[in-house]
A and B are shown apart, each in its own frame.
Chain A
Amino acid sequence: EVQLVQSGAELREPGESLTISCKGAGYSFTSYWIGWARQMPENGLEWMGIIYPGDSDVLYSPSFQGQVSMSVDKSTNTAYLQWSTLKASDTAMYYCARRLGRANHHSNWFDSWGQGTLVTVSS
């Protein structure tokens, strides 16, 4: 069974840094893209980007380029989402998900999702 288990809720102050994690199990972690999505309170899903654990290739959505960093640790089957300087507007639920489909991205979908990590940024 494919499982993605995310790290727990975080409370930070503006200006602080943060890294949240997403640990994959039950499949070949390095063979599938992992994506991240943001959901701000009472809002819809936003596509942040995807990372390929096999070679750490990353594709960021233009809206999130430069705002966050994605990385992986193949030795622990874990993907990470990092902020160097948090803002109040980063307050949201963040989901990781496994991406299936074709290499050219024209046919891709998220088939398994983590439970979400709630990030609250407040002074």
Chain B
Amino acid sequence: QSVLTQPPSVSAAPGQKVTISCSGTSSNIGSNYVSWYQQFPGTAPKLLIYDNNKRPSGIPDRFSGSKSGTSGTLGITGLQTGDEADYYCETWDSSLSTGVFGTGTKVTVL
């Protein structure tokens, strides 16, 4: 089981905002940077956020990231049906000397 905990699912109506939390510990999120990935069924993950809050080229500013203490958060504003996917956080764990993914969150647009 993952050391990073995410809610199994979140949902909201089109145009609304959702936030996804990623809860860790002092040895992972507390001392390292967080990245976020989007994955549609049957496809490879795609980088959305790196270094807690930076967006790669081509990622719309509707997607945002933040970190506070031992938790990271992904925000999606102006929710669209095309945002329905699974979302994963990821960070380095300094105690395990390995990277770790979160448990994953399914976003549903009502």
Contacts and interface: CB of A to CB of B under 8 A. Distances in A.
| Pair from one complex | yes
A100 B103 CA distance: 22
B101 A46 contact: yes
A49 interface: yes
A109 B103 CA distance: 17
User: Which of A44, A101, A114 has its CB near the most chain B CB atoms (within 10 A)?
Assistant: A44
B98 A49 contact: yes
Contacts, number: 77
Interface string B18-32: 000000000000011
Contact of B99 (A47, A95, A111): A47
A107 interface: yes
Between B32, B50, B98, B101, the greatest number of chain A beta carbons within 10 A of the residue's beta carbon is seen for: B98
A115 interface: yes
B51 A113 contact: no
B107 to A, nearest CB: 14
B98 A95 contact: no
Contacts of B102: 44
A61 interface: yes
A26 to B, nearest CB: 15
B47 A59 contact: no
Interface centre among A35, A47, A59, A61 (most CB of B within 10 A): A47
A113 B94 CA distance: 24
A37 interface: yes
A115 B104 contact: no
Contacts of A61: 96, 98-100
Nearest to A43: B104
A62 interface: yes
Nearest to B100: A47
A59 B92 contact: no
Nearest to B35: A109
A24 to B, nearest CB: 15
Interface string A40-64: 0000111101100000000111100
B88 A60 contact: no
Interface string A53-89: 0000001111000000000000000000000000000
Contact of A106 (B33, B46, B47, B56): B33
Given A105-B92, A109-B90, A114 B44 contact: yes
